[in-house]
Amino acid sequence: MLCGPCRLLRASVAPTAALAAALLSSLARCSLQEPKDQVASALSPYFGTKTRYEDVNPGLLSDPEAPQRDPELLEGSCTPVQLVALIRHGTRYPTAKQIRKLRQLHGMLQARGPGDDRPGNASDRGLGAALADWPLWYADWMDGQLVEKGRQDMRQLALRLASLFPALFSRENYSRLRLITSSKHRCVDSGAAFLRGLWEHYHPGLSPPDVSDMECGPPSINDKLMRFFDHCKKFLTEVERNATALYHVEAFKTGPEMQSILKKVAAVLQVP
C-alpha cells in the first residue's frame, strides 16, 4: 500500500533562519551520501521520515536491485503467506509552498553585499556565497511531483521485494496484488512505478503496458484510509482544530534549543 505524505506541523519561527534551515535541508537531501560518510549513530538514518533507502542500506548505492536479507532469517526457516507494506511515495520535488520559501531565502543570500560579511572563518563566508551562486532551478509546476529518482525508488523496491519473496511475487499471484493509494499525484505515480517494476521482473526486456492494462489493475484510491487525518472527526476536532493540542511541539520550536540552532544557521549564512 502506498501512503500519502506526512503533514507538516505549523509553527512560527524567525523567518530568515527558518528559511535558511529549509534550504540547507533541501540541499542535503539532494546531495548523494557516500558510504564512507559518518553518521551520528547506527540508528540515525532511521529517524527521518524522508530517509532514502540507500542511506539506511549503503549497499544499495552499488547495487540498488540487490535484496537485503536478514542473515538470521534463513531460507526455509519460515513460509511467507502474505505481505502487507506501508510505503512512502518516492523522491519528489519540493511543494510550491516550499519553493516560494526557498526563493525568498535565495534572494536574501544574493542581496548580501561584500560589506555584509561578519567576522568568521572563510568556510562560513564561502558557504553563504556558494548558496547565493547556486542556481535555484525549481519551478512552480513541480509542486511536489514525483521525480525520476522517485520512480526508480519504487521500481527498484518492487524488484527487491520480488527477489526476497519469490513465492509471493510469482506470476501466478500477480493478479492478486492490490495497491491502495491516496489521490496525491506523487502517490498515484509511485504506485504505477512499483507495478512497472514488477512487470520488468516478470517480463525482462519488454516495455511495460499502461498500468490499467496490467493483470492486477491500477492502484485504487482511498483517501479515507490513506489520508485519515483529513477525514477522521476525532483527529480533526481534538488535534487539527485544537489550538492547544500541539502545545509541546510549539514550545519546542520556540524554545531555547531551537532558537540556538536558528541563530547558528543565521550566523553561518550571515543573514539577519
Question: What does the domain layout of the chain look like in residue ranges?
Answer: 16-26+84-269
Q: Ramachandran region of residue 91, left (φ > 0), alpha (ψ -120 to 50) or beta?
A: beta
Contacts of 246 (CB under 8 A, 6+ apart): 9, 239
Backbone angles phi, psi at 180, to 5 degrees: -120, 135
Residue 192 in this model has a pLDDT that exceeds 80: yes
Q: Which residues are catalytically annotated?
A: 89
| CA distance to 141, 161, 186, per residue, from 83 (Å) | 36, 10, 23
Q: How confident is the model at residue 236 (pLDDT cuts 50, 70, 90)?
A: very high
Closest CA to 91 of 235, 187, 230, 211: 187
Cα 206 to Cα 208: distance, rounded to the nearest angstrom: 6
At 75-104, the pLDDT tens digits run: 667 788 899 999 999 999 999 999 999 999
At 40-63, the pLDDT tens digits run: 677 777 777 777 888 888 888 888
Q: Residue 27 has what pLDDT?
A: 46
Q: What is the CATH number of domain 16-26+84-269?
A: 3.40.50.1240
Contacts of 69 (CB under 8 A, 6+ apart): 164
